[in-house]
Amino acid sequence: MVLKDSHICENLTMDNHRNAIATTTAPAGTGQIAGSRTHKRRLTLSLNTVVLLGAFFICSLVAVSFIIYNFATCNELSSLSDENIVCSPVRLTHPSKSGQNNSIDTLDETPHYEKDVRLPRSIKPLRYNISLTPYLHNENFTFEGEVKISFLVETADCYNITMHAAELNISKSGVEVRRAKIKDIQSPAPEAQLRIRKQYLIEAKQFFVIELYDKLKRDTEYEINIKFNGLLKDYLQGFYRSSYKVGNQTRWLASTQFQATDARRAFPCFDEPALKANFTLNIARPVTMSTISNMPIVVTKPHESLPNYVWDHFAESLPMSTYLVAYAITDFSVLSDGNFSVWARTNAINSARYALKVGPKILKFLEQFFDIDFPLPKMDMIALPDFQAGAMENWGLITYRETTMLFEEGISATTNKQRIAAVIGHELAHQWFGNLVTPRWWSDIWLNEGFASYMEYLTVDAIEPEWKTLDQFVVNELQNVFQLDALSTSHKISIEVCNPDEINEIFDRISYAKGSTIIRMMNHFLTTKVFRQGLSNYLKKIAYSSAEQNDLWHFLTMEATKHNLLDKNTTVKEIMDTWTLQMGYPVLQISRHPNTNVVRLEQQRFVFVNKTKSNNSNITEPLWWIPISFTTSTELNFESTRPVTWVPRTKTYEIENRNLSTAEWFIFNIQQTGYYRANYDLENWRAITNHLMKQTHYAEISAPNRAQLIDDAMNLARGGYLSYAIALNLSRYLIHETEHVPWKAAITAFNFIDTMFVNQGDYDLLKNYLLKLIDTVYQDVGFDDNVNNEHDMLRTFKRIEILNMACHLGHRGCISDSSRLFQNWLQEPNPDVNNPISPNLRGIVYCSAIQYGTETEWDFAFERYLKTSVSTEKELLLIALGCSKEPWILFRYLRHSLTGDKIRKQDVYRVFVAVSNNVVGQQIAFDFIRNNWQEIKAYLGTSISNLNTILKFATKRMNSKFLLNELESFVRNDLKDNGRSIKQIVEQVHINVDWMNRNYNTIVQWLKNEANKD
């Protein structure tokens, strides 16, 4: 605005100057200089000249005043550029999307985020008072709001306020800034408003900037008042709408999902985790609905202008981050146990009873574990029909996908109980680790998710010890994340992230599973007593504030030193930095030193690459502090997990131990508590294999370590560190194995080989070998299922794993039993009421019957999917419908998922994954994605994680150069995405192609030799 006014004055001045010269210059052609005239002339001014001179004087005065003022302002702003974001030059494009003249301007409307979108640190929010009115009636789907934010200017005087806002309409006249009233001084008159110079949105940063004429003074409290409105979209982020049906009637509701950076879509705010504040919410709702939020309702009052609406006023919260604010407006029913309540659709509320049963037990266990009482007056948990994540840990109001909270007796599988208990344990653990103490920035989100992922196993073990969840940790978390962390495109646990895209990408298996695995490793090398006390001290000291990983290392070191667990010169930080600030994990090569008592340990990073191509002396290998535990053939001690010694951050290390060096065989990494792989010399591998092959002796090695041996051997061979002959020879012992954990590891390892072989001419060799291996365990588990024997959860898991594998391999008995059970259901007069198939076997039966059936079976299953209201049953059917071998049915199914009338948006990715998991369907899914990418993106919105998930599964069997070129062309021409997830997908296909070249013929020859033995 100032620049435009200055240009006008300059033009007017030039015009005046020309007129003045004209009045004093001699007529053209006289040859005389005006100043040489000796006679005097009288100066006369016309009326126009007087007007122009007056205008010139006034405009010059205004211009000089603006220049002087703004020169001082800009100097002051420039001197504070590190503390206050001052807009870099950007082009003003158009008013904001509301189209209203009164709306604030939008700058730099680019489709991507800028690299750095951190807020300045001069302002600290103190309190929010938020009033929201959502309009769900008449399918209006808008909301109006007003937020009052009290803030403190902390570091220096400044002239601007930078905060977050996205997809909100903010009017220019709806923004006010004033100095806060001083409580100790009685003054009935409000403080004077500060003068706003300009206000605008920077879309590339999702910033809302207010520039002032009046200075914001250091150590002074101010208030911002902003009125806004927005749309209740169905993208499952921010403040969004959802619905469900009762008969033919559609019931609408609204809820929130703010993590990581979506609170700004619901109200303008300082949307960073460290900027904690107290929140007071006031939400208007129809009288026929109810509202819940983080805190309890204090009072409900009639709405002053909307008939049949009331205001729910909530108590002020404790200091918390914006991403933890939550509220839901629904017509749900509620069940309560004291101050612990569960909410769900009225026709599903009874399915929430199991969650209500285990929730208070887990909460009590966590209070004792951390030695800190739950600080809020109540806890609500709500099951939402549409929810993008599995669950969200909002403080005092945890939101869930229905399948992770609702259990329907007689319909849901007993394994769903463990899933529900684990998710509840995860989210309740967050109430301390994440909510009470929050990571200062998203770089340390693993502190949230890693701890919660580990605690979910501890909490379930505490309330249901018969399920032996701690034994399952190795195969579910550690061995699972090993696959991702072996890629060169993996990432450090603690990694610098700047914008929302980068932040969302690190909500992955590295943050969750690797985070939980190294925390479990700490628990074992520090001892549980020291570990728990260190955590408790950390949480108590930093409560209601934010922290980074170094803060945690400090408290754990203090406690470890107190109990003499660490050398005085060693800290937890020194050890753990090697695991959190480096990518990947080590493989430890362990070998005897000939004619001595020395065992040599050599570490290097484990990666899935051809080792002959990766030897580059110019690359510095990462090194780790590795806790060492081991046992021998004579000791057979698989209980003691305390480190016997450490491999310090050095390439090689030697242990002098006669018992170890002379043992028939030894096994390192007891219960696989360390986050590393163990590789042995050939003599040790052969000795271990011989012991396992003895049917009466294999069980002397603990089940978790048998799982470790299988997983290590098969993946060491996959990465080129060990021959496949050694690994496959060890796998032969599985003909005797009957326990779940080793079989889970084996099935996971063979699944990869299966994906590489399934489209090849030698697949029958692999299939026959695996069918021979599972024969004994298949007879053990059988097809008869005892639904009431829920305590033997491992046996139930084992049956599901084995039957899934058997049916996939074409086991005649498995397919016959599945088809028989499905036909019994199909012939039921009332199949939506009477389903004769055991809930634990439904996933297997549904998939097999549809796979080997016709259009009749598919249409029957799809009709059941549409009619059932039980979320777990819907999920099973949704996955099974992708098992058909008919290409046209699979293509139709993919089309169904994008129409929005039959399959919920939250479940679209499940449809693509189900079709991709089908051998026939994978290429169909990839071609469909490639041909409809823009439509899929437009339908799913900004859910990058779901988009990447469907592409990951649609490419997992690609293992030829032709298919690799197809993928790279699609990524290059259509995705134009250099994000980490896409790079990982492309790298995995590169690895598959390389693996086929190196290993396919070797494995075929081994399988032929094995077949000839029969």
Residue 204 domain flag = yes
- Chain-centre distance of CA 5, in angstroms? 50
- Tell me which of 57, 79, 101 is where a domain ends: 79
Residue 967 domain flag = yes
What confidence score (pLDDT) does residue 751 get? 96
Exposed e or buried b for every residue in 955-985, given b needs 16+ CB within 10 A?
Answer: bbbbbeeebbebbeebbeeebebeebbbebb
334 close to 307: Cβ distance less than 8 angstroms = no
Residue keyed to tokens 């979506």: 262
146 and 74 in one domain?
A: no
Supply 394's token pair. Answer: 């909002």
- Give the Cα separation of 344 and 351 in Å (integer): 8
The 10 Å Cβ neighbour count of residue 621 is 11
399 close to 344: Cβ distance less than 8 angstroms = no
Exposed e or buried b for every residue in 427-462, given b needs 16+ CB within 10 A?
Answer: bbbbbbbbbbbbbbbbbbbbbbbbbbbbbbbbbbbb
Supply 364's token pair. Answer: 């009590």
210 close to 196: Cβ distance less than 8 angstroms = yes
What confidence score (pLDDT) does residue 55 get? 52
What confidence score (pLDDT) does residue 945 get? 63
Characterize the bridge pairing of strands 123-135 and 379-384. Answer: unpaired
Which residues neighbour 725 within 8 Å (Cβ) at sequence distance 6 or greater?
Answer: 1002, 1006
Residues 682-722: pLDDT tens digits? 999 999 999 999 988 999 999 999 999 999 999 999 999 99
pTM (2 d.p.): 0.86
What pLDDT band is residue 939 in, cutting at 50, 70 and 90?
confident
75 and 127 in one domain?
A: no
Which residues neighbour 751 within 8 Å (Cβ) at sequence distance 6 or greater?
Answer: none
Average pLDDT, the chain: 87
What confidence score (pLDDT) does residue 99 get? 39
Residues 874-932: pLDDT tens digits? 999 999 999 999 999 999 999 999 987 889 888 898 999 999 999 999 999 999 999 99
- Chain-centre distance of CA 385, in angstroms? 20
- Give the Cα separation of 576 and 553 in Å (integer): 8
227 and 115 in one domain?
A: yes
What pLDDT band is residue 617 in, cutting at 50, 70 and 90?
low
- Tell me which of 546, 580, 614 is where a domain ends: 580
Tell me which residue of 374, 388, 288 sits closest to 339, measured CA to CA: 374
- Give the Cα separation of 86 and 354 in Å (integer): 53
507 close to 388: Cβ distance less than 8 angstroms = no
Q: Count how many residues are written for the chain.
A: 1014
Count of structural domains within the chain:
4
Residue 398 domain flag = no
Residue 812 domain flag = no
Conformation bin of residue 231: beta by default, left when phi > 0, alpha when psi is -120 to 50:
beta
Residues 748-801: pLDDT tens digits? 999 999 999 999 999 999 999 999 999 999 999 988 887 666 567 888 999 999
Share of the chain above pLDDT 70, in %: 85
What confidence score (pLDDT) does residue 182 get? 67
CATH code (residue 209): 2.60.40.1730
51 and 142 in one domain?
A: no
Residues 280-335: pLDDT tens digits? 999 999 999 999 999 999 999 999 999 999 999 999 999 999 999 999 999 999 99
Exposure of 324 by Cβ count < 10 A (0-12 exposed, 13-18 middle, 19+ buried)? Answer: buried
- Give the Cα separation of 130 and 228 in Å (integer): 11
- Give the Cα separation of 932 and 939 in Å (integer): 11
272 and 231 in one domain?
A: yes
- Lowest mean per-residue pLDDT among 72-76, 142-146, 755-759: 72-76
What confidence score (pLDDT) does residue 76 get? 34
What confidence score (pLDDT) does residue 21 get? 29
Give catalytic residue positions.
427
576 and 457 in one domain?
A: yes
137 and 73 in one domain?
A: no
Q: Averaged over 496-514, what is the pLDDT?
A: 88
Residue 396 domain flag = no
- Tell me which of 330, 345, 380 is where a domain ends: 330
What confidence score (pLDDT) does residue 85 get? 32
CA atoms within 13 A on the CB side of 863: 11
- Give the Cα separation of 806 and 223 in Å (integer): 66
For the chain, the maximum distance between any two Cα atoms, rounded to a whole number of angstroms, is 133
What pLDDT band is residue 393 in, cutting at 50, 70 and 90?
very high
Conformation bin of residue 629: beta by default, left when phi > 0, alpha when psi is -120 to 50:
beta
What confidence score (pLDDT) does residue 788 get? 61
Tell me which residue of 132, 234, 542 sits closest to 370, measured CA to CA: 542
- Give the Cα separation of 815 and 812 in Å (integer): 5
Phi, psi of 869 (to 5 degrees): -110, 5
68 and 106 in one domain?
A: no
Q: Is the pLDDT of residue 12 over 80?
A: no
134 and 16 in one domain?
A: no
Residues 336-361: pLDDT tens digits? 999 999 999 999 999 999 999 999 99
Q: Averaged over 122-135, what is the pLDDT?
A: 96
The 10 Å Cβ neighbour count of residue 818 is 27
Name the residue type at position 686. R
Residue keyed to tokens 């024969």: 775
CATH code (residue 471): 1.10.390.10
Residue keyed to tokens 């993106």: 937
Tell me which residue of 719, 486, 685, 489 sits closest to 612, measured CA to CA: 719
The DSSP annotation for 231-286 comes to E-BSSSSEEEEEEEEETTEEEEEEEEE-TTTTGGGTS-B--STT--BEEEEEEEEE
303 and 169 in one domain?
A: yes
- Give the Cα separation of 174 and 156 in Å (integer): 27
215 and 74 in one domain?
A: no
- Give the Cα separation of 862 and 417 in Å (integer): 25
End-to-end CA distance of the chain: 89
Q: Is the pLDDT of residue 523 over 50?
A: yes
What pLDDT band is residue 1013 in, cutting at 50, 70 and 90?
confident
Residue 880 domain flag = no
Residue 302 domain flag = yes
The DSSP annotation for 669-735 comes to SGGG-SSSEEEE-HHHHHHHHHHHTSTTTGGGS-HHHHHHHHHHHHHHHHTTSS-HHHHHHHHGGGG
Q: Averaged over 85-100, what is the pLDDT?
A: 33
Provide the domain limits for residue 547: 439-580
Tell me which residue of 512, 531, 535, 529 sits closest to 521, measured CA to CA: 531
320 and 296 in one domain?
A: yes
Residue 546 domain flag = yes
- Lowest mean per-residue pLDDT among 522-526, 563-567, 891-895: 563-567
